[in-house]
Amino acid sequence: MSPLRPITEWHLRTRHLSLGSRTLICGVVNITPDSFSDGNLFLVPDKAISHALQLIDEGADILDLGAESTRPESKAGTTAALTTEEEQSRLLPVLEGILKVRPDAIISIDTYKAPTARAALLAGAEIINDVSGFIWDPAMPACCAKAQCGVILMHTRGLPHEWRTQPQLPPDDLLQLVRNGLTESLAIAHAAGIPPEAIVLDPGYGFGKRLNENFSLLAQQSLLLELNRPLLVGLSRKSFLGHTLAPLYAGTPGSPKQRETATIAAHTAAILHGASIIRTHSVRPAIEAALIADAIIAATKNRLDG
């Protein structure tokens, strides 16, 4: 366990967020027909807006809106991906609807496409969450630099349709792969003129990491703090958690809804290994996990300081 996550200010488009003193919670709103956990539940704008407002009421510090699924086997990152026109037609009415009711809401946009990022930032988004870490669309870094927005750079190994056939990696090799990928993304951001204070990193659990590889990465996650940027993690309802629960469900992976308790355990571990932000489908349980993990971190710091 590393209690030494950085205490810093995250510079967003129009404001700052304090990171490190307590864990922040980022609530997920998937405006998609095919996301692995809640596809088609919030495709209708009114339902997505209502759900987003509920997450805020439950205590979410940030909302992360996504309109294209990046589940395994999806076409994300390829020429067959969702068009920017369709992505924006799903996304923008929800973004605008949330901000009409809650103008102070801090909204992140889960997209790797510069045209969508540009439209969302103009409509009031504060953060761009690029699951490709500025790799899939070369226009994205300049877009974010011009808007002076907050950025989440995630590590992805390959493309979603390749993930199920990728070879397993030894734990040390996987950590080095993630570290190298995030270092490359940071270099791209720096070259575009994006200041470090605008950047948060995401190890990319489940994105090209197969089953138990994710646990190896989680066990070593605190080493990524050596890149000198805060960490956001997305572990909520991930399939590797379900596979670990298989003995409880007659040898089959637990469904996304059956992974909620495992998600709480994973969130607690991630915070104790240096995460400053948790991205989750279920906000209230994540807040409870964060309160306990933050109390452990505070007690550890007090012991070390004393």
Would you name the residues annotated as active-site residues?
238, 279
Letter for the amino acid at 106? I
303 in the Ramachandran plot: left (φ > 0), alpha (ψ -120 to 50) or beta? alpha
CB 111 within 8 A of CB 87: yes
Rounded distance between C-alpha atoms, residue 210 and residue 246, angstroms? 16
Token reading at 192: 């575009």
Using the CB atoms, write b or e for 254-263: b if 16+ within 10 Å.
Answer: bebeebbebb
φ, ψ for residue 3, nearest 5 deg: -85, 5
Rounded distance between C-alpha atoms, residue 226 and residue 220, angstroms? 12
Rounded distance between C-alpha atoms, residue 22 and residue 278, angstroms? 11
Letter for the amino acid at 301? K
Rounded distance between C-alpha atoms, residue 163 and residue 182, angstroms? 18
Residue 169: which of 138, 135, 213, 131 has the closest Cα?
Answer: 213
Q: SS3 for 25?
A: strand
CB 174 within 8 A of CB 212: no
